[in-house]
């Protein structure tokens, strides 16, 4: 019996020269295989993560525009269903924060009329995040270098990422196409409100009127978040150079699709 026990112990202790606590490490080939697998997985995941991040930014941007739309829905009944008149770049300064970079004081509105309707100060608002697109960036010239915003983001420069449709800020005679010095009433809008652009990522204006600026923050395909006059928001494909199309209109009255365009007298991009 003792002989058997000794044999078993001898087999257990002498069958291997390796100590029980040591483990064999990875070989170089195994490490390279693991690194290769991780690299393949990352190459598959990163585009997906990038798309998810872009979608999240676009969603936040759309939510901001819905809140801005709700603000207008409260502003209009308090002001005889009439928009403010276009002066001192109202298309940018209708809402948002105070700005330090903007360098044209005579063209600067000293208050933001929509701010009180989205729970912000009329003057001197410091952050105004509702008026900042999550993908906000620098507006560039078509050469990709010059910047009309002096290298600042749209929100930093204007205090607002979302340019308003200025055809709703002054009356345009649909027969003579001359601007009239009177504000626009909702009654004056002759198209379904679900088609008329109220505001949006500033690229909407540059794409529709084929202006020489680049502010495509969400993509490179002229797709932008648009707030429409009825309050709904849609991520909309703009047909470059077409100010009126099947699902949107820059103009508040019927025009032939793509029958452009602007009189070119906006003071700033």
d(C-alpha 25, C-alpha 243), whole Å: 67
Question: Where would I find the beta strands (DSSP E) of 88-180?
Answer: 140-141, 162-164, 171-172, 179-180
Domain ranges of the chain: 29-249
State the pTM of this model. 0.78
C-alpha span between 199 and 164 (Å, rounded) = 4
pLDDT (0 to 100) of residue 197: 97
* Rounded (to 5) percent helix, strand, coil in the chain: 35, 15, 50
Tokens of 115: 């701010």
Give CA–CA dist 239/237, Å, rounded.
6
Q: What is the pLDDT of residues 107-144, one digit of tens each?
A: 788 889 999 999 999 988 888 999 999 999 888 886 66
Contact 126, 149 (CB under 8 A): no
What tokens does 258 get?
Answer: 């793509």
Q: What is the pLDDT of residue 96?
A: 95
Q: What is the pLDDT of residue 193?
A: 96
Q: Residue 117 in 3-state DSSP?
A: helix
| Residue 12, C-beta contacts closer than 8 angstroms, at least 6 positions apart | none
Point out which residues pair with 214 in neighbouring strands: 140
| Tens-level pLDDT at each residue, the chain (269 residues) | 444 444 444 444 444 455 555 666 678 787 888 888 888 877 776 677 677 888 899 999 999 999 999 999 999 999 999 999 998 899 999 999 988 777 677 778 888 999 999 999 998 888 899 999 999 988 888 666 677 788 889 999 999 999 999 999 988 887 787 888 888 999 999 999 999 999 999 999 999 988 888 888 898 889 999 999 999 999 999 999 999 999 999 999 887 654 444 443 333 44
Q: How far apart are CA 95 and CA 122, in angstroms?
A: 8
Distance from the Cα of residue 156 to its chain's centroid: 14
* Helix or strand holding residue 226 (H, E): strand 223-228
CB 131 within 8 A of CB 96: yes
Predicted local distance difference test score (pLDDT) of residue 254:
85
């Amino acid at each position: 019996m003792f002989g058997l026990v000794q044999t078993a112990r001898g087999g257990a202790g002498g069958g291997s020269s390796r100590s029980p606590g040591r483990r064999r490490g990875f070989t170089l080939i195994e490490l390279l295989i693991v690194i290769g697998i991780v690299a393949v997985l990352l190459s598959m995941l990163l585009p997906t993560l990038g798309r998810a991040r872009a979608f999240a930014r676009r969603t936040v941007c759309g939510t901001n525009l819905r809140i801005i739309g709700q603000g207008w829905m409260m502003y209009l009944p308090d002001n005889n269903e009439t928009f403010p008149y276009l002066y001192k770049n109202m298309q940018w300064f209708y809402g948002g924060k105070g700005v330090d970079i903007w360098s044209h004081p005579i063209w600067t509105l000293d208050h933001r009329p929509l701010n009180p309707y989205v729970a912000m100060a009329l003057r001197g608002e410091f952050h105004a995040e509702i008026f900042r697109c999550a993908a906000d960036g620098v507006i560039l010239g078509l050469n990709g270098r010059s910047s009309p915003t002096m290298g600042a983001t749209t929100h930093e420069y204007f205090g607002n990422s979302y340019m308003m449709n200025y055809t709703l800020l002054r009356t345009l005679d649909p027969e003579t196409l001359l601007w009239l010095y009177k504000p626009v009433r909702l009654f004056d809008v002759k198209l379904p409100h679900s088609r008329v652009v109220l505001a949006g990522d500033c690229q909407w204006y540059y794409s529709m009127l084929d202006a020489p600026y680049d502010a495509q923050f969400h993509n490179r395909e002229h797709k932008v978040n648009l707030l429409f006059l009825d309050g709904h928001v849609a991520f909309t494909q703009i047909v470059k150079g077409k100010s009126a199309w099947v699902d949107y209109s820059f103009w508040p009255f019927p025009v032939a699709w793509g029958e452009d365009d602007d009189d070119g007298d906006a003071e700033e991009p």
